[in-house]
Structure 1
Amino acid sequence: MKKVVIALSVLALLTSCVSKKKYTALEAKNKETQDLLNTATVKLNACLEEKAGLSARVEGLKEHNQTLINTSKEMTILTTKGAENIEKALESIKEKDLKISRMQDALTKKDSVTLAVVTSLKSAVGLNDPDIEINVEKGVVFISIADKLLFKSGSYNVTDKAKAVLAKVAKVVNDKPDFECMVEGHTDNVPYIGNNILLDNWDLSVKRSTSIVRVLTNELGVKPEQLIAAGRSSYIPLVDNSSAENRARNRRTRIVVLPKIDQFYDMVEKEMKKQK
């Protein structure tokens, strides 16, 4: 019996030792598996984070790409509008250049007409009289006649000698119905002693102008609508009034011959129509 008990005890002891080894091995295996699982979990989480980052980057790239597409469309629209604006600007420049060219043509024609008027006046009036000047200033023709040819001192009655000169001027003016003539009276700076009719140099200069206008219209056939009467008194002198000779130069009547403004614009318009 004692031997049986001993034998059973040894058997139980052996059985117990084998189970502990297996348990230890299983425990080690379990730990290894757990470590692998933990490593895999870490890698999985890293992959998930990387995936999330890549997904966010993809979304960002999509948004950026859409922005570029929208910008490209806007740029295309802007480029198209810019091209249209440039084309309009070029057309506007061309139109302005054409208008300038037409205006220059009209001015050239006006200058030609002005030159013809000067030639006609110089031919009609003559060039040998020092008391008559015919010149062009800024495209305007003017005839300056010394007062000693037109009036007696302090008078506004036109002399017979003056009428002979004015008749030559009237002939040229009558040949140019599209022109106007402004008759300007000028005095020196010596104060005019007024009377019941004239008060000062202003009155004298205007009265001399209207006297010449009446001779041109009433006696020489110039149309009244072509004439303008003006008085400048002593305020536009040719030279200073420091001597009798200079004062004599300043006492004058100036007849300004110029195209009517509406006729000038008609001339420009005709030139423009020719270019169309």
Structure 2
Amino acid sequence: MIKKLLLLALTLTLSTSCVSKKIYTDLEDKYAELIKENRILNDDMQSLSKSNTKLSNDLDQLQSTYAKAIADRDKLQSDYNAAKSNLETLKASYKALEENSSASIAANSKKNRELLAQLEAKEQALATESERLNTLKKELESRSKRVAELENVIASKDAAMRQLKDAISKALTNFEGKGLTVEQRNGKVYISMENKLLFESGSWYVGAQGKQAVKQLGDVLAENPEISVLIEGHTDNVPYKGNEQLSGNWDLSAKRATAIVNILRENNAINPENLTAAGRGEFAPIASNATTEGKAKNRRIEVILTPKLDEISKLLNEI
């Protein structure tokens, strides 16, 4: 409902060519919520990465404990074998002494009983250690299975994002060298389009060439319904000097991002719930604003594609 109200407000804004203070304030609030949501997604990604690292560390520790338990069991087995050998020796001595002295027999009998008690104690300790070893082995197998499942899911997500990047690069081949780049990092796909491909200076109207590029991008997104799409508008640091319809660079960047969302929404196969528009003004540059080339790179639209992490979160909760 909130997204629908936001879209209605933006539509009224564009149609009346006048931005009221209330609408602008609402846009700022929505932008803040979007930034917060984007930060939460990034925090979730980092948390998942830390959880994966912790699980790997726990697995290493469990394997170390398992190895120590095996060593302890082997030592108990060795002690048991030595005690058993001593017992056999004492039995032989007992038999030999039995004919010589009742006192010696009594002494050997007592020592024999002590060794038997020690042997029983070691047998019990060995049984207990074997049981603990079996428990550790089962836990290790269970943890290993969960970690393997998690690694497979993460690898699958990465592979899917690589395929998505390749599909987008192929779909936008005609726009190479025209201010468009596609790259994958941190489990996401980033499509950067400089304003020279999309907009005239100070305008948020998308030209024919830019509209074609966005539509071709939309055709790929329509085939990937499990991808969240964040469209960010960016400007250089030159203050906006256009008409009174805009309050500044931040407002301009937000309108440009919304213009891209509106083109994507023309594709009925794209779920509007997956789309988010945000304006970042001049506050996230990728190059120096001290040069003309740097400013051109900073004036851009970035489309950030993020896989949904529900499956990974479920696996982490089960571990």
TM-score after normalising by structure 1: 0.63
Structure 1 SS opposite 2:238? coil
Give the distance between the partners of 2:120 and 2:237, measured in 1 at CA.
78
Structure 1 SS opposite 2:225? coil
Amino acid at match of 1:123: K
Greater CA drift, 129-138 or 190-199:
190-199
Give the distance between the partners of 1:246 and 1:100, measured in 2 at CA.
44
Give the distance between the partners of 2:125 and 2:205, measured in 1 at CA.
76
Amino acid at match of 1:243: T
Residue in 1 that maps onto 2:255: 207
Residue in 1 that maps onto 2:173: 126
**Structure 1 264/155 Cα, relative in aligned 2: closer, same or farther at 3 Å?**
farther
- State the 1:233 CA deviation: 2.1
Residue in 1 that maps onto 2:279: 231
Residue in 1 that maps onto 2:223: 175
1:245 equivalent in alignment to 2:304: no
Amino acid at match of 2:158: D
**Structure 1 80/248 Cα, relative in aligned 2: closer, same or farther at 3 Å?**
same
**Structure 1 155/74 Cα, relative in aligned 2: closer, same or farther at 3 Å?**
farther
Bigger radius of gyration: 1
Q: 1:101 aligns with which of 148, 153, 178?
A: 148
Q: 1:113 aligns with which of 147, 160, 182?
A: 160
- State the 1:85 CA deviation: 4.5
**Structure 1 119/72 Cα, relative in aligned 2: closer, same or farther at 3 Å?**
same
Structure 2 SS opposite 1:188? coil
- State the 1:216 CA deviation: 1.0
Alignment of 1:60-209 (within 5 A): 84-126=131-173, 129-130=176-177, 131-193=179-241, 196-209=244-257
- State the 1:202 CA deviation: 2.2
Amino acid at match of 1:113: A
Give the distance between the partners of 2:121 and 2:281, measured in 1 at CA.
70
Is this contact kept in 2: 1:179–1:258, CA < 8 A? yes
**Structure 1 193/87 Cα, relative in aligned 2: closer, same or farther at 3 Å?**
farther
How many residues are matched? 206
% identical aligned pairs? 30
Is this contact kept in 2: 1:191–1:201, CA < 8 A? yes
**CA shift digits 1:148-207 (9 cap, x unpaired):** 111111122222221111110010001111212111111112223476443232222222
Question: How well do the aligned residues superpose, as a CA RMSD in angstroms?
Answer: 3.3
Is this contact kept in 2: 1:143–1:254, CA < 8 A? yes
What 5-or-longer segments of structure 2 have no aligned partner?
1-113
**Structure 1 191/87 Cα, relative in aligned 2: closer, same or farther at 3 Å?**
farther
Greater CA drift, 185-194 or 219-228:
185-194
- State the 1:232 CA deviation: 2.3
Structure 2 SS opposite 1:134? strand
**Structure 1 73/176 Cα, relative in aligned 2: closer, same or farther at 3 Å?**
same
Is this contact kept in 1: 2:202–2:242, CA < 8 A? no
Is this contact kept in 2: 1:178–1:263, CA < 8 A? no
**Structure 1 89/203 Cα, relative in aligned 2: closer, same or farther at 3 Å?**
farther
Give the distance between the partners of 1:134 and 1:181, measured in 2 at CA.
14
**CA shift digits 1:11-57 (9 cap, x unpaired):** xxxxxxxxxxxxxxxxxxxxxxxxxxxxxxxxxxxxxxxxxxxxxxx
Give the distance between the partners of 1:189 and 1:139, measured in 2 at CA.
30
TM-score after normalising by structure 2: 0.55
**Structure 1 89/226 Cα, relative in aligned 2: closer, same or farther at 3 Å?**
same
Give the distance between the partners of 1:76 and 1:202, measured in 2 at CA.
77
Amino acid at match of 2:302: R
**CA shift digits 1:216-263 (9 cap, x unpaired):** 10x233321121112222222111111111100111101112222236
